[in-house]
């Protein structure tokens, strides 16, 4: 008797279509290839992929590469699909639609089939559209981890730098739910959007008098906390805008800090790394991805959380390359989602 369940709805092929990065390159030149359908270990699910959500990190690493990758490498970290093969008794079972944030060190999800550990996925109910679910993992989970890092409580003042980006949009909503007074930066064309999401005060991020205007609005005390989605010089500026011993969650590599600034502000710096759950081989952290996914799905279903506007992307190398360039060019406020199959 077989110790594996296979969906009767599918005849599993030997090969599949995939989009790969032949090697890191500035132009993000990708290739359409045929790969063998992956083999799964005991606790892994074979998924027929339906949608893949694109993120800025996909574009950044397509250009620079990642230390754990072997090439050609399949891109794509956020995905939704249906379980078509699973070990006997493994949950979730065959036929279940699931959502997950994939391991950054392994092959990604831009393929017709992929595998993922069963304990890292979240079940997607039929009431939630698959493409909408694909917008949730990376941005939503990063927002939740950021808020935990800065320990937001009712009445705190928090600056969310880059509020119109996908992480910023989720962070604004979750911060308001926790009772914070939310300040954010965004391009002027996006001020209405972030206000609708709950931001109390919005500043134009390109304003040369930004710091002066923030201090005028906030007063001399500084922010209790900051979610820094931008990085670089913005991180240094944001620490200057914090109160003494304030908290900051950083989603990008840290810049060089002058010693005087560190002594004067004594910031509590938290680094946000979804990929760390996999790279540290932490089963607890990987399971937490599933728990956060459940929370995001619940919020999207109830309407408590508004998801970013979706732009559909075709499943071919040229279209995905153009989409990744669009992610990195700046000014993009929604989520690009590749439709693999339905």
CATH of the domain at 242: 3.90.180.10
Q: Does 207 share its domain with 293?
A: no
Q: Does 158 share its domain with 261?
A: yes
The Cα–Cα gap between 148 and 71 comes to 35
Q: Which of 271, 304, 323 is the last residue of a domain?
A: 271
Q: Does 124 share its domain with 147?
A: no
Q: Does 223 share its domain with 240?
A: yes
Q: Does 87 share its domain with 177?
A: no
Predicted local confidence at residue 1, as pLDDT: 44
Could you list the residue range(s) of the whole structural domain that residue 40 is in? 4-135+278-339
Q: Does 117 share its domain with 178?
A: no
The Cα–Cα gap between 308 and 317 comes to 24
DSSP per-residue letters across 150-185: HT--TT-EEEEESTTSHHHHHHHHHHHHTT-EEEEE
Domains in the chain: how many in total?
Answer: 2
State both tokens at 157: 């003042």
Q: What is the pLDDT of residues 76-122, one digit of tens each?
A: 999 999 999 998 889 999 999 999 999 999 999 999 999 999 999 99
State both tokens at 218: 């906030």
101's enclosing H/E stretch is strand 97-101
Indicate the average pLDDT of the chain.
95
Q: What is the pLDDT of residues 150-185, one digit of tens each?
A: 999 999 999 999 999 999 999 999 999 999 999 999
Q: Does 27 share its domain with 109?
A: yes
- The DSSP output letter for 34 is E
Q: Does 218 share its domain with 285?
A: no
The Cα–Cα gap between 337 and 211 comes to 35
Q: Are the C-beta atoms of 30 and 19 separated by less than 8 Å?
A: yes
Q: Does 76 share its domain with 130?
A: yes
Q: What is the pLDDT of residues 246-266, one digit of tens each?
A: 999 999 999 999 999 999 999
State mean pLDDT over 262-285.
Answer: 96
**Integer angstrom CA distances of residue 149 from 17, 153, 242, 249, 326:** 39, 12, 15, 6, 30
Q: Which of 221, 252, 271 is the last residue of a domain?
A: 271
Q: Does 263 share its domain with 289?
A: no
**What is the percentage of the chain residues whose pLDDT exceeds 70?**
97
Q: Does 64 share its domain with 147?
A: no
Q: Which of 225, 253, 271 is the last residue of a domain?
A: 271
State both tokens at 275: 């990929």
Q: Does 87 share its domain with 10?
A: yes
The Cα–Cα gap between 179 and 175 comes to 7
């Amino acid at each position: 008797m077989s110790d594996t369940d296979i969906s009767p709805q599918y005849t599993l092929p030997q090969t599949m279509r995939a989009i790969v990065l032949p090697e890191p390159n500035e132009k993000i030149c990708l290739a359409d290839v045929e790969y063998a359908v992956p083999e799964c270990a005991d606790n892994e699910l074979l998924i027929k992929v339906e949608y893949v959500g694109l993120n800025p990190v996909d574009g950044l690493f397509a250009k620079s590469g990642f230390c754990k990758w072997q090439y050609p490498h399949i891109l794509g970290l956020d995905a939704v699909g249906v379980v078509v093969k699973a070990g006997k008794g493994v949950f979730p079972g065959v036929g279940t639609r699931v959502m997950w944030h994939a391991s950054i060190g392994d092959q990604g999800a831009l393929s017709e089939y992929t595998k993922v550990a069963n304990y890292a996925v979240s079940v997607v109910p039929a009431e939630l559209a698959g493409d909408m679910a694909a917008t949730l993992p990376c941005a939503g989970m990063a927002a939740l981890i950021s808020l935990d890092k800065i320990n937001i409580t009712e009445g705190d003042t928090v600056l969310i730098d880059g509020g119109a980006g996908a992480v910023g949009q989720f962070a604004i909503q979750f911060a308001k739910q926790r009772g914070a007074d939310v300040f954010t930066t965004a391009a002027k064309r996006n001020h209405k959007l972030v206000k609708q999401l709950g931001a109390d005060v919005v500043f134009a991020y390109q304003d040369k008098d930004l710091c002066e205007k923030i201090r005028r609005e906030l007063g001399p005390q500084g922010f209790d906390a900051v979610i820094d989605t931008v990085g670089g010089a913005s991180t240094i500026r944001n620490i200057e805008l914090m109160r003494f011993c304030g908290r900051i969650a950083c989603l990008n590599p840290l810049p060089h800090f002058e010693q005087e600034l560190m002594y004067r502000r004594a910031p509590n710096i938290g680094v946000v790394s979804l990929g760390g759950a996999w790279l540290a081989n932490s089963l607890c952290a990987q399971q937490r991805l599933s728990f956060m996914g459940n929370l995001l799905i619940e919020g999207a279903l109830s309407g408590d959380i508004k998801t970013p506007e979706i732009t559909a992307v075709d499943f071919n190398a040229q279209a995905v390359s153009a989409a990744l360039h669009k992610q990195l060019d700046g000014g993009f406020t929604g989520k690009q989602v590749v439709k693999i199959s339905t």
